[in-house]
Amino acid sequence: MNPSITMPPQVAWASGALSGAPLIQKTTHLGDLNNVFADDDAWRCCDPTLAVYRVDMFDTPSGEGELYTGVTHLNPGRVGNEFFMTRGHFHARREQGEIYFGLRGEGLLLLQDAQGQTRLEPVRPGSVHHIAGFTAHRLINIGSDMLSALAVWPSVAGHDYTALSGGFALRVTADTLKLMAKEVQNG
């Protein structure tokens, strides 16, 4: 009997481009990100039609046990002193985790637990990020090029954007990067 061979879809590691299967794409513009950046006046002065990030996802089945695969492409930029970032979320089903893989660009993954404790992981080509359950997550682009990261997560996880609508406990600006650099220098 001949083996059955199916060609899988592809991710281009250097760019994060997905191909070979139907996609769902969603672009988030600055105008969609009301109350996300700390400097509201600066946000109001920005062009609301400017694209901040796009998520490309394979259009795969949902349901218990199913996984979604998607790539976030986050543009470089700032609102006031704060770097462009995703809205960020807890999963609606809090116990569900997720894996992110850095593909291109220079960024940070901001993680915040249920007690409000935050930490940052550098996102670079090849970095692997295990986002445990009960952990809110947000990507931040601290570079001057596009940041792209691949994510795999349970389709049942869902998104809760309201729990942190007042903001994460940590904001990343150029000053934050200076502090981080000092910390690395001092060991």
The nearer residue to ligand F6R, 32 or 175, going by C-beta atoms, is: 32
Token match 């199913």: residue?
66
Q: What is the 3-state secondary structure (H, E, C) of 77-142?
A: CEECCEECECCCEECCCCCCCEEEEEEECCEEEEEEECCCCEEEEEECCCCEEEECCCEEEEEEEC
86 binds, among ligand F6R, Zn ion, none (CB under 5 to 8 A by kind): ligand F6R
As measured in angstroms, the least distance from the Cβ of 138 to Zn ion is 9
Q: Least distance (Å) from ligand F6R to the CB of residue 44? A: 21
Q: Please say which residue, 14 or 99, places its beta carbon nearer to Zn ion.
A: 99
Least distance from C-beta 183 to ligand F6R, angstroms?
26
Residues interacting with ligand F6R, by CB under 6 A?
A: 55, 70, 72, 86-89, 98, 137, 139, 151, 153, 157, 159
Least CB distance from residue 61 to ligand F6R, whole Å?
Answer: 16
Burial category of 44 from C-beta neighbours within 10 Å (exposed 0-12, middle 13-18, buried 19 and up): exposed
Write out the H or E segment, with its range, that includes residue 179. helix 174-185
